[in-house]
Structure 1
Amino acid sequence: MGYKAGLVLFLVSLINYDVCAKELRNTAIDKTLLEEVIDAEECDRQINVIKSNSMLLFQFLDAGARVPKGILTGNMVDLGNYHQCLGINLQLEQMHIQGKYCSILVPFSQNIALPLPSSLPFDPSALRIDEETAVQIDEFNMRRKKMRVLSGDFDDFEDDLRSTHPLAHAVFRLGVCVPKPCTTEQAMTSLIFNATEIGFRYTESYCRLLGDKPFVPANVVAITIFACLGFLTLVSTSYDVFYRFVFKKDVKQQSVLCRSFSVYTNGKILSTFSSNPGNLKCLDGIRTLAMVWVVIGHCFQTEPFIANPIDSNVWMISGKALWITIAPMTVDTFFTLGGILLVYTTAAKMKQGTFLRSLHWFYLNRFMRVTPLLAVAVLLQATYYNTVVDGPHWVQVSEWTDRCRNNWWSTIFHVQNIVNPRSMCVPHSWYVAIDFQVYVLSPIILYWVFSGKKHLAWTALLAGLLSVIVASTIFVFHIEVAAGTLVPSRFEEMWDYLALYYFNTLTRASPFFVGLLFGYVLHLYRKEKMQLPWFIAIFFWLCAVGVVAGIVYFTYCIKQFEWDNQVWDNIMNSFMRPAYAVALSWMIIACVHGYAGPINWLLSLDMWRMPARLTYGIYVFHFGLMTSLNAAMLTPFYFSVPRVVFKFLAHMTLAILVSYFFTLLVDTPVSVLFKLLMDAAAKKNKPATKDNNPELNKENAKIEDVKRDLNKVDANHVNDIDNESVPVSSGVQEEPNVVRIADTGVHTDDSVPETK
C-alpha cells in the first residue's frame, strides 16, 4: 500500500505544482523572472566591471535614452535602442553580463538640487512657453489614451481634469539600459548619478529581458491545432490532386469529406463567381469600401507614439479629418447589411412551422459560420502575436495576450461586451458579439415575417424597430454621455461613453432592425421593379444625403472645445445611427431598382467580389496584426496623412493575405463539414419507408429543405461578416455566400458537385 500512497502524494504534488506554475508562468511576460534576477551584490560586481571597461560602459549608455527630439512639437518619448540593449551578452571575469531594457517615466516638473551653492528648482508652470503649445501637448496625451480605450485598452485611461498648468502634468517616457541583476535605481545611481541625492524623480514603468516570454500551455494548444490543420490540409489536398489529375477519376464520385480541406478545391470555390438572379451586387462594393474605411481608421488610431503629436492633434480636430473621425459609423453599415440580408435571403424560403422546428439549426449554423475565424484570431492573439516580433512598447500586446488566455471563452461565445467589457480579448470583436446577440433575438421578428401575411410582417418589423429605438432613447437620456469618440470637451467621460453606449447591444441594435425592415421591402419587390416617380427618387436621395451631411456636421461640432449641449448629444445618440441606416438602405434599394446610376455601377463592379468575400477575415485579423507591428516600432512615428496612408496599404495587404490563408484552411473546410453534418442529420431523421400520409411526407420534406436553406442563407448573412470592417453582419448576397460554402449544390461548376 506504500507505493499507492506515494503515487497519490506524487499526483497531488504534481497537480499543485501545475496550478502554481500556471498562476506564475501563464502570462505573456514572465514577471517572476524579472524579480528572480534581481541581485544587489551581483549588480555591484557587474557595475564595477562595467566601469573599468569603457567600451562596455559605452554600450549600456549608448543603448539608453537621450533627451527626446522635438519637444516643442509635443514629442515626450525616446525609446533608446531596445534590441541593442538586449543584445548585450558578454562573459567577463567569471560573470555573465547581460542587458536589461527598462522604460521609465520622468515628470517634466523637477526640483533638482545640484552640488552648487543653491538648488535649481525647475517649475514648468513658470516657463515662458506658448500656452497654446502646452495645451495641445496635454490634449494629445488625453486623445491618445482615449483612442486606445476605443480599442478596448482601458488600463491607461485616467480620469484627469488637468486643472493646473498643462506642463505640470507632462511626463517623458525614456528607455534605459541596465545590467540584468540591477534595479533601475541602483544602476542609474552607480553608472550615471545619484538620483536620490539630487532629487531627480522618476517612476519605473516596466522592464524587459531576453527570453522573458515563457512557453505556456496555450503555445502547445496552438502548435497542436495548427499542426493538425496543416496535416489535414496536406493529406486532403494530396487526395484531391491525385484523384483528379493522376487517377483521372470521375469528380462526382469523389468523397466530399476527404477533400474538405483541399487547398485546390477550396481555392477554386473562393475564386469562382457566378451571377444568380436576385443577387444584390452593390453590397460587395459597400462591404469592401466599409472595410477599407475601418482599417484605415484603425491605422490612425493605433500608433503608440508620435514624434509630432501637436501636428497630429491639430489635424485630428480639424475639418480635414472628418473622414476619419466619422469612421465609427462604419459599424452601423454592417449592422444594417446584416439585417437586410437576413430577411431578404430567408423570407422567400421559410414558413413559420418549419422555421420553428429548425430553429436549433438556425442558431447552430450561425455560430459555426462566425466562430472559426474568430477562434483562430483568439488563438493567434494568445500565442503567435506575442512571440513573432518584439519591441520596446510590447506591454500593450502582452496585456491583450493575457486577456485572451484568461477570457477567451467570452469571445468565443460572443458575450465579452457584457461580461468583461474592460478586459476584452480581440478588443474590436465587440461588434461580432453584438451582431450575434441581435441575430439570436431576430426569430422574434422573423416568425411573423415568415407567416406570409404582409400586415403581420409589417406590424412585427415596425414594432421591433420602434421598441428598440424607444428603449434606447430612454436609456440614452438617462445616462447622458457624450455623442462621439472624439469630444475634446468631455475626455474624462470616455469610459462611460464606451461602456454604457458604444459597446451596449441595446443602443447599437437599431441599424440591424432598420435592415430587417428594408430587407423585407427588397423581398416584396424581388421579382419586379419598384416604380417610383423621378421626383420621389430625387427627394429620397436628397434626404439620404442630408442625413449623412447632418451627421458629418454634427461630428465636426462636437470636436470643438466649446461644445456643450447635452440635449443634442442625447438626440444624436438616439437617432443618428438608425437615420444613417435608413439612408444606407435607400441607397441599396436605389441601386437594386435602377435609381442610383453611376453609384450602382461603381458599387457593382466585379473587382469588389473577391475582397468582399474576405471582409470578415480582414476585420477579424487586421487589428491584431496592426497593433503587434506597431508595438515593435523602435522610434516614434512622424505623423503625416500620406505616411499613414502608406502604412494602411501595407496593413491592408497583409490582412488580405492572412484572411485568404485562414479562410482557405479553416473557414471553408468548416463550412463543408457542417454541411455534411446537416445532410447526415437529415438522412437520419428521414423515415426508412414513406408514410401513407402525403401531407406528413410533404411537411417532412419541407423541414429538410429548410435545413439546407439555413446553411445557404446563413452563409449569405455571414459573408456579410466576412466582408466587413468591423463586423459580422456585413452581408453578402446569395451568390458569393453560396460559393463560400463548398458543395452546396448551387455551383454551376461540375467539379464542385452537390453533396450526396
Structure 2
Amino acid sequence: MAFTELNNAKMRLSLSSLLGPSSWTCVLLALVLGQGLPPVGAYSSENLLTWMQASNFGLQVLQYALNDTESSTGDEAGCLVEVQALLSSAGAQALQALRVLDAWGKFPQGLLYGHFTDLGNYESCLSSSYQSVGSAPKYCLSHIQFKSLLLEGIGSEALSLNIGTCIPSSCSAAQLNRWLHSHLRSMFGESGDPTEESDVLVQEQSCSVAQAAPMDGLDWFAVAIFACLGTVVLVATLLDYGKAAGKLIGAFSLRQNVPQLFATSTSPSPRVIPCLHGIRCLTILWIIFGHGYMFLLQAPNINSYEIVAWAQTPSSMLLQSGSISVDTFFLLSGMLLVLTTLREMEKNQGHLHVPLMYLHRLVRLTPVLALAVLFFMTLFPRLDNGPLWQQFTGASELCKDTWWATLLYVQNYAAPGRMCLGHSWYLAVDMQLYVLSPILLIALHKWGKRAVGGIVVLILLLFGCVFSIIMLNELQVFDRRGNLGADSPQMRLIYYTTHARATPWLIGLLFGHFLHTQGGRKARLPRWMTPLMWLLCLGLLASALFAVFPYTQPGAGAISPVAGAFYMCCSRIAWPLALCWLIWACQNGLAPGIDSLLGWYLWQPLSKLSYCLYIWHLLVETVNVARTKSSLHFSDYDAFLRFWSDFGVTLLVSLVMYLFVEMPVVRVELELLRRFRKPKVDPAAAVDAPVVPPATSISRQNLVDP
C-alpha cells in the first residue's frame, strides 16, 4: 500500500478496528515512518542519501586521510586502504558504508546555550556489519579544544567540543587526530595555527570496539567468588528449611537473615537512641543524591548554561556544601564508640581488649569492601558500554595498583589521587581514628574531665593545623566553577586526610562521654533556654551550608584563603555541634515532632543497609551515567528522577550484599566469640540470645552494639 493510501486508510478506521492488534501495528508503523504529515514532494531515497553525504562531518574528515603522508608506510598503511574502500562504498551509496559515516557526530546544535557534545550514534557504529578488508568499525570520542569562550560565566577557561567518530578499527587515535587537525586547518584557513587556536585530542582510551576483551584469570576468580557465595547462601537456606543447619551454616540462611533485616523495635530503652536511625538514613540519602547530581553535572547536557544559573540558587548549596554530610557519620562514629566502650570498660573493671577490638572492626568492615574492590577491578568494566564508558569507568584500572591501600585503609595518604574506590577515603579516615581511639578511651575512663580538656585542646590544635595548611598553600576551599579534581591539592591536603577530618569525630567522643555521664537521666532546662538553643542550632546548620553562598553570585570574586580557612575550620565544628543538640533534644523530649520523625521505626531496616548503600551507591551511579549514549537535559526534576533510579538499583544491590555478606559475617563472628570466650552466665540461657546487628562506623543499630 502506498504511503498516502495508508494514511487515508488509517483515517477511515473505525474505533473498533483500531482496537485490534493488527491495526495497532499498522498505525505504529505508519507513525514511525513519518505518516500523518502532509506530503512534501516526490524526493527519492537517493536524494535523502545525497543530502546526508553533503552534510556529513565524517565524510569531510576522512577525505584528509587520503593525503595523510605519515600513514602511507608502516602499520598505519592498512588503515588508509580501509578508509579508501569505505569512501568508495559510500560514494556508491552502499548502506553499510553510509551507516558508518552516519554514526559520526555533528557540530552541536544549541552551542550558545551550553550544548557542547554530539556523541553520534555509538550503537550504529559498532553494530554495523560493514567490513572492508577484515576490520570492523571503531568508535572514538574526540575533544576539540578552543581557548576563547563564547559564553561568559560558563565555568571554564576553555571551550571543548566533544564529537563522536566512527573509523575502521585498524586506524589509530593518532591518525584520526591528524585528520581532524587537517580538516580544521582548512576550515580556519591555512594561516591558522591549530596548536594556538584549537587543539584536538583523541586518545586510544576513548576508543572502543564491539569485541570485548577476553576474561583473564582475575575475572574468572571474581566470578568464582560470587558464585561460591551464592551457592553457600542457597545451600544454607535449604538446610535451614530442613532444620539441618548448624549455627555457623545457619548464619548464611536467608530464612533467618531476612527477618533480622526487617525486624523493628518500638520499645523504649535507655540503651537506644532512636533518632540515630533517621539521621543515618537521611544522611546516606543526601550523599547518594549529591553524588548523583555530581555525575549529572559531568555528563553531556544540552543546556549546560542552565547549570550556571542553578549554581547561583540557594537550594544548590545543599549540594555544593554537601561534603559536610560525611561529618555526620564521623560524629556518630565517635559518639557511639565512647558510649559502647565505656560501658564495657565499666563492666570489665577498666580493661579494654584492644587486639579483639581491632579484629572486630576489620571483620565487620572488610568483607563488603573487599568484594566491592574485586568487583570494581574485574567485572565492573564489562557491565555495559557507551561513548563515555571509558571516561567514567577507567578508574577501575587504578584498583590494580592501589587495591592493597584500600584494604589496609591507608589510601587517603598512600594514594590520595589514585584511590581504587574514590569514596572509600571515609573508611580510611574512620579506621585510622579507630586505631588511635584506645588512647582517648582509656584516658576518658581513667581521668574523665581532665581527658575532656585534653580533647578540647586537641581540637584547637587541629583547627590551627588545618588553618595553616590552607594559608601556606593558598588553597581554594570553595570553587564555584567545580574545578577541584580528585588529585587537586585541596582534596589531598584538607579533604581526604585524617588530621583535617578528625574534629567532628572528636566532638562525637566528647558528646558520647557527656551522654554516658548523664546516664539516661532526663535533663531539665529553663523554658527560655530551649528556643534559644534551637535558634543557635539552626544558625550553626545554616552557616555551615550557606556561608559561601555570596561567592556563587555573578561578579563575586574568589573566596580568599583567610575566609576559606575560617569557613573550613569553623564549619567542621559548627555542624557536629548543631547535631549534638538535635540528638540531645530528641533524647530529652525537647524536639516534639522531630524526634518522632527521626525515630520512626520504619527507618530501622534502611539504617541496617546504610553501610552497603554507602559502599555500592557510587558504582551504580557510575554505571548509570557511563552508559549514556546521547546528551541529557539538566534540571532539578531530571536529577530527582535520576536519584530514584540510582537509589532503587543501589537498594537492591545493598540488600543482596547485606543478606549474603554483611549479616552472615556478623553472625559467624558472634558465634565464634561465643564458643571461644568463657561464659560468665549459664550457657543454656545464652542459646537464644538475639543476634547483634552489624556494627560499622556508618551502620550501627543501637548502643548495645560495640
Structure 2 letter corresponding to 1:380: F
Deviations 1:192-218 (A, max 9, x none): 986666657633133111224342332
Q: 2: CA distance between counterparts of 1:545 and 1:324?
A: 18
The alpha-carbon deviation at position 287 of structure 1 amounts to 0.7
Aligned to 2:142, what secondary structure does the other structure show?
strand
The alpha-carbon deviation at position 357 of structure 1 amounts to 5.5
Q: Is the 8 A contact 2:417 2:487 kept in 1?
A: no
Measured at CA, do residues 457 and 357 of structure 1 come closer, stay the same or move farther in structure 2, by a change above 3 Å?
A: closer
Deviates more, 1:660-669 or 1:266-275: 266-275
Q: Does 1:501 align with 2:518?
A: no
Q: 2: CA distance between counterparts of 1:490 and 1:678?
A: 49
Instruction: Provide the residue aligned with 1:202 in structure 2.
Output: 200
Deviations 1:389-421 (A, max 9, x none): 111011233321101222111111111001000
Q: For this pair of structures, how many residues does the alignment match?
A: 608
Aligned to 2:136, what secondary structure does the other structure show?
strand
User: Which of 135, 147, 159 in structure 1 is aligned with 2:152?
Assistant: 135
Instruction: Provide the residue aligned with 1:171 in structure 2.
Output: 160
Q: Does 1:449 align with 2:438?
A: no
Structure 2 letter corresponding to 1:589: W
Measured at CA, do residues 75 and 512 of structure 1 come closer, stay the same or move farther in structure 2, by a change above 3 Å?
A: same
User: Which of 76, 83, 93 in structure 1 is aligned with 2:123?
Assistant: 83
Any residues of structure 2 matched to 1:300-339 within 5 Å, and which?
300-303=293-296, 304-339=299-334
User: Which of 645, 651, 654 in structure 2 is aligned with 1:659?
Assistant: 654
Q: Is the 8 A contact 2:462 2:503 kept in 1?
A: no
Instruction: Provide the residue aligned with 1:721 in structure 2.
Output: 698
Deviations 1:9-31 (A, max 9, x none): xxxxxxxxxxxxxxxxxxxxxxx
User: Which of 262, 273, 276 in structure 2 is aligned with 1:271?
Assistant: 262
Q: Does 1:379 align with 2:371?
A: no
Q: Is the 8 A contact 2:485 2:491 kept in 1?
A: no
The alpha-carbon deviation at position 613 of structure 1 amounts to 1.2
User: Which of 70, 73, 89 in structure 1 is aligned with 2:110?
Assistant: 70
Aligned to 2:602, what secondary structure does the other structure show?
helix
- Alpha-carbon RMSD: 3.1
Q: 2: CA distance between counterparts of 1:307 and 1:657?
A: 31
Structure 2 letter corresponding to 1:562: G
Instruction: Provide the residue aligned with 1:228 in structure 2.
Output: 228
User: Which of 82, 88, 95 in structure 2 is aligned with 1:43?
Assistant: 82
Instruction: Provide the residue aligned with 2:545 in structure 1.
Output: 552
Aligned to 1:177, what secondary structure does the other structure show?
strand
Aligned to 1:89, what secondary structure does the other structure show?
coil
Deviations 1:206-257 (A, max 9, x none): 311122434233212211110110111111111001118xxxxxxxxx6111
Q: Is the 8 A contact 2:104 2:165 kept in 1?
A: yes
Q: Is the 8 A contact 2:310 2:316 kept in 1?
A: yes
Deviates more, 1:58-67 or 1:533-542: 533-542
Q: Is the 8 A contact 1:240 1:264 kept in 2?
A: yes
User: Which of 98, 103, 107 in structure 1 is aligned with 2:145?
Assistant: 107
Q: Does 1:527 align with 2:520?
A: yes
Measured at CA, do residues 386 and 37 of structure 1 come closer, stay the same or move farther in structure 2, by a change above 3 Å?
A: farther
User: Which of 551, 565, 571 in structure 1 is aligned with 2:566?
Assistant: 571
Instruction: Provide the residue aligned with 2:134 in structure 1.
Output: 96
The alpha-carbon deviation at position 551 of structure 1 amounts to 2.1
Q: Does 1:219 align with 2:219?
A: yes
Structure 1 letter corresponding to 2:200: Y
State the percentage of identical aligned residues: 28
Aligned to 1:135, what secondary structure does the other structure show?
coil
Deviations 1:485-521 (A, max 9, x none): 4444986998221111011111110101111111112
Any residues of structure 2 matched to 1:254-653 within 5 Å, and which?
255-274=246-265, 275=267, 277-278=269-270, 279-303=272-296, 304-351=299-346, 358-451=353-446, 456-480=447-471, 481-482=474-475, 484-488=477-481, 495-560=488-553, 561-653=556-648
Measured at CA, do residues 492 and 512 of structure 1 come closer, stay the same or move farther in structure 2, by a change above 3 Å?
A: closer
The alpha-carbon deviation at position 266 of structure 1 amounts to 1.1
Q: Is the 8 A contact 1:712 1:734 kept in 2?
A: no
Question: Which residues of structure 2 form unaligned runs of 5+?
Answer: 1-73
The alpha-carbon deviation at position 53 of structure 1 amounts to 4.3
Q: 2: CA distance between counterparts of 1:421 and 1:64?
A: 38
Structure 1 letter corresponding to 2:171: C
Aligned to 1:227, what secondary structure does the other structure show?
helix
Measured at CA, do residues 43 and 516 of structure 1 come closer, stay the same or move farther in structure 2, by a change above 3 Å?
A: same
The alpha-carbon deviation at position 188 of structure 1 amounts to 9.2
Q: 2: CA distance between counterparts of 1:484 and 1:534?
A: 40
TM-score (norm 2): 0.80
Q: 2: CA distance between counterparts of 1:204 and 1:318?
A: 36
Aligned to 2:141, what secondary structure does the other structure show?
strand
Deviates more, 1:83-92 or 1:628-637: 83-92
Q: Is the 8 A contact 1:386 1:397 kept in 2?
A: no
Q: 2: CA distance between counterparts of 1:491 and 1:243?
A: 56
Aligned to 1:67, what secondary structure does the other structure show?
coil
Deviates more, 1:75-84 or 1:266-275: 266-275
Deviates more, 1:636-645 or 1:526-535: 526-535
The alpha-carbon deviation at position 549 of structure 1 amounts to 2.1
Aligned to 1:606, what secondary structure does the other structure show?
coil
Q: 2: CA distance between counterparts of 1:293 and 1:492?
A: 21
Q: Is the 8 A contact 1:286 1:603 kept in 2?
A: yes
> Runs of 4+ in structure 1 displaced over 6 angstroms?
35-38, 187-193, 352-355, 489-494
Measured at CA, do residues 108 and 535 of structure 1 come closer, stay the same or move farther in structure 2, by a change above 3 Å?
A: same
Measured at CA, do residues 382 and 544 of structure 1 come closer, stay the same or move farther in structure 2, by a change above 3 Å?
A: same
Measured at CA, do residues 342 and 316 of structure 1 come closer, stay the same or move farther in structure 2, by a change above 3 Å?
A: same
The alpha-carbon deviation at position 183 of structure 1 amounts to 3.5
Measured at CA, do residues 90 and 716 of structure 1 come closer, stay the same or move farther in structure 2, by a change above 3 Å?
A: closer
Q: 1: CA distance between counterparts of 2:592 and 2:159?
A: 54
Measured at CA, do residues 493 and 57 of structure 1 come closer, stay the same or move farther in structure 2, by a change above 3 Å?
A: closer
Q: Is the 8 A contact 1:403 1:425 kept in 2?
A: yes
The alpha-carbon deviation at position 350 of structure 1 amounts to 1.5
The alpha-carbon deviation at position 427 of structure 1 amounts to 0.3
Measured at CA, do residues 354 and 392 of structure 1 come closer, stay the same or move farther in structure 2, by a change above 3 Å?
A: farther
Q: 2: CA distance between counterparts of 1:446 and 1:513?
A: 11
User: Which of 87, 98, 101 in structure 2 is aligned with 1:58?
Assistant: 98
Measured at CA, do residues 535 and 623 of structure 1 come closer, stay the same or move farther in structure 2, by a change above 3 Å?
A: same
Structure 2 letter corresponding to 1:136: G
Deviates more, 1:375-384 or 1:57-66: 375-384
Aligned to 2:641, what secondary structure does the other structure show?
helix
Q: 1: CA distance between counterparts of 2:602 and 2:573?
A: 30
Aligned to 1:401, what secondary structure does the other structure show?
helix
Q: Does 1:732 align with 2:696?
A: no
Aligned to 2:344, what secondary structure does the other structure show?
coil
Structure 2 letter corresponding to 1:88: S
The alpha-carbon deviation at position 637 of structure 1 amounts to 1.4
The alpha-carbon deviation at position 189 of structure 1 amounts to 8.7
Structure 2 letter corresponding to 1:501: I
Q: 2: CA distance between counterparts of 1:260 and 1:552?
A: 43
Structure 1 letter corresponding to 2:99: Q
Q: 2: CA distance between counterparts of 1:669 and 1:658?
A: 16
The alpha-carbon deviation at position 441 of structure 1 amounts to 1.0
Q: Report 1 or 2 for greater relative contact order, CA contacts < 8 Å, sequence distance ≥ 6.
A: 1
Aligned to 1:175, what secondary structure does the other structure show?
strand
The alpha-carbon deviation at position 523 of structure 1 amounts to 1.6
Q: 2: CA distance between counterparts of 1:194 and 1:587?
A: 63
